[in-house]
């Protein structure tokens, strides 16, 4: 049983000290799926980046604990070894490094030893088949010319293979086509069934037709303003964020 605790987290943009997160409180446990939903600019990605340790953001107060360990004091790679999966940790192109090598290197770093090549190849094949990915994808260079859908599939592929304790996925409001959305959702549901705790950050309610979260949190102006069960997503789908004082037109 693992537990990620975010306690009264306050975060500024490093460059100009603009406060973005204004006291975020949230606990994610093994096997739970939490959705954070909120309008554009409310600070959802900042939350993900802050937990990932992105230098653009400075934590000014509060805590992030994974099974009692202080995540904010860990080097970025140590966060992954501790069992946190932060998809946005590797958003950049990695020139000359194939998906296959990249995944094996990441698995080696996290497991503390290189996975045996034969079983590894099998593992990767199974995971790629589940995600309806072409085998040729494994030989492409990481993120080089990836479409939005391919980036997401790659992200879920990493998550399936690295078997984190807690995964944080930021949908980044990206336009996934329905097919990619379905495959990504099924991938999330599969790892969820293995006991991974998931924090799914999203602007749109449509992914929640495929992934039924246990908890939904409405995010607005740098903090969670309401929490509930999956029925809260239905309320948002119907009435948007207006009841939280948000003018949708100004934020989408
Ligand atoms: P969301 O993911 O909910 O759309 P973000 O976390 O991307 O929101 O952004 C929250 C707010 O912080 C926005 O007003 C955005 O302009 C601002 N912001 C985020 N990152 C930076 C940055 N690096 N420099 C300046 N402002 C930023
Ligand atoms: Mg945004
Ligand atoms: Mg965002």
pLDDT score at 180: 76
Mean pLDDT, range 235-242, rounded to an integer: 84
pLDDT score at 247: 59
Interface ipTM: 0.94
Q: Would the pLDDT of 176 be above 80? A: no
Q: Would the pLDDT of 169 be above 50? A: yes
Backbone angles phi, psi at 14, to 5 degrees: -60, -45
* Residues at CB less than 6 angstroms from ligand 1: 13, 18, 20, 38, 40-46, 56
Q: Which ligand is nearest to the CA of 169?
A: 3
DSSP 8-class letter at 241: T
Q: Tell me the C-alpha to C-alpha distance, in Å, between residue 230 and each of 79, 180, 216.
A: 29, 22, 6
The answer as to whether 251 is a domain residue is no
The answer as to whether 252 is a domain residue is no
Cite the beta strand spans of 103-232 per DSSP E. Answer: 166-170, 197-202, 215-220, 223-228
Q: Which ligand is nearest to the CA of 42?
A: 1
Alpha helices by DSSP H, 69-133: 76-81, 99-111, 117-130
Q: Which ligand is nearest to the CA of 38?
A: 1
Alpha-carbon distance of 224 to 91, in angstroms, equals: 26
Residue identifier of the C-alpha nearest atom 24 of ligand 1: 13
Q: In the chain, pLDDT over 90 holds for what percent of residues?
A: 58
Q: Would the pLDDT of 243 be above 80? A: no
The answer as to whether 12 is a domain residue is yes
Give the domain extent around 106.
Answer: 3-244
Q: Could you tell me the CATH number of the domain that includes residue 8?
A: 3.40.50.300
Alpha-carbon distance of 41 to 221, in angstroms, equals: 8
Look up residue 144 and give its two tokens: 């080089």
The answer as to whether 150 is a domain residue is yes
The answer as to whether 249 is a domain residue is no
Q: Say how many Å lie between the first and final Cα of the chain, rounded.
A: 38
pTM of the model: 0.91
In whole numbers, what is the pLDDT of the chain averaged over residues?
89
Q: Which of 9, 10, 13 to mutate to test the pocket of ligand 1 (most atoms within 8 A of CB)?
A: 13
Alpha-carbon distance of 146 to 218, in angstroms, equals: 31
Residue identifier of the C-alpha nearest atom 11 of ligand 1: 41
Name residue 69's beta-bridge partners: 66
pLDDT score at 86: 86
Ligand 1: atom nearest CA of 20 is 12
pLDDT band, very low/low/confident/very high, at 209 (cuts 50, 70, 90): confident
pLDDT score at 251: 47
Q: Which residue has the tokens 């379905």?
A: 182
The answer as to whether 193 is a domain residue is yes
Q: Left, alpha or beta for 67 (phi > 0: left; psi -120 to 50: alpha)?
A: left
pLDDT digits (tens, 9 = 90+) for 57-66: 999 999 999 9
pLDDT score at 252: 45
Alpha-carbon distance of 154 to 152, in angstroms, equals: 5
24 within 8 A of 38, measured Cβ to Cβ: no
pLDDT digits (tens, 9 = 90+) for 143-154: 888 887 888 888
Q: Would the pLDDT of 89 be above 80? A: no
Q: Which of 11, 43, 223, 251 to mutate to test the pocket of ligand 1 (most atoms within 8 A of CB)?
A: 43
Neighbouring C-alpha atoms within 13 Å toward the C-beta of 92: 4
The answer as to whether 250 is a domain residue is no
Give how many domains the chain has, as a whole number: 1
pLDDT digits (tens, 9 = 90+) for 113-143: 999 999 999 999 999 998 889 999 999 998 8
pLDDT score at 234: 87
98 within 8 A of 137, measured Cβ to Cβ: no
The answer as to whether 88 is a domain residue is yes
How remote is the CA of residue 173 from the centroid of ligand 3, in Å?
Answer: 6
């Amino acid at each position: 049983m693992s537990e990620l605790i975010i306690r009264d987290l306050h975060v500024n943009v490093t460059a100009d000290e603009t406060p973005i997160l204004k006291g975020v409180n949230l606990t994610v446990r093994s096997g739970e799926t939490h959705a954070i939903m909120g309008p554009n600019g409310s600070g959802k990605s900042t939350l993900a980046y802050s937990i990932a340790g992105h230098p653009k953001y400075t934590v000014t107060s509060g805590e992030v604990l994974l099974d009692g360990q202080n995540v904010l004091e860990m080097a970025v790679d140590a966060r992954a070894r501790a069992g946190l999966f932060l998809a946005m940790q590797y958003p950049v192109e990695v020139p000359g490094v194939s998906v296959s090598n990249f995944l094996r290197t990441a698995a080696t770093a996290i497991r503390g030893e290189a996975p045996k090549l034969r079983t590894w190849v099998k593992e990767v094949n199974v995971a790629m088949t589940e995600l309806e990915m072409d085998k040729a994808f494994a030989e492409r260079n990481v993120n080089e010319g990836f479409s939005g859908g391919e980036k997401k599939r790659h992200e879920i592929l990493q998550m399936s293979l690295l078997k984190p304790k807690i995964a944080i996925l930021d949908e980044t409001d990206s336009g996934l086509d329905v097919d990619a959305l379905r495959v990504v959702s099924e991938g999330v549901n599969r790892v969820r069934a293995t006991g991974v705790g998931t924090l799914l950050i999203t602007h749109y309610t449509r992914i929640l037709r495929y992934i039924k979260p246990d908890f939904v949190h409405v995010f607005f102006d740098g903090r969670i303003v309401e929490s509930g069960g999956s029925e809260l997503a239905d309320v948002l789908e119907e009435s948007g964020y207006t009841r939280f004082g948000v003018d949708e037109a100004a934020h989408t």
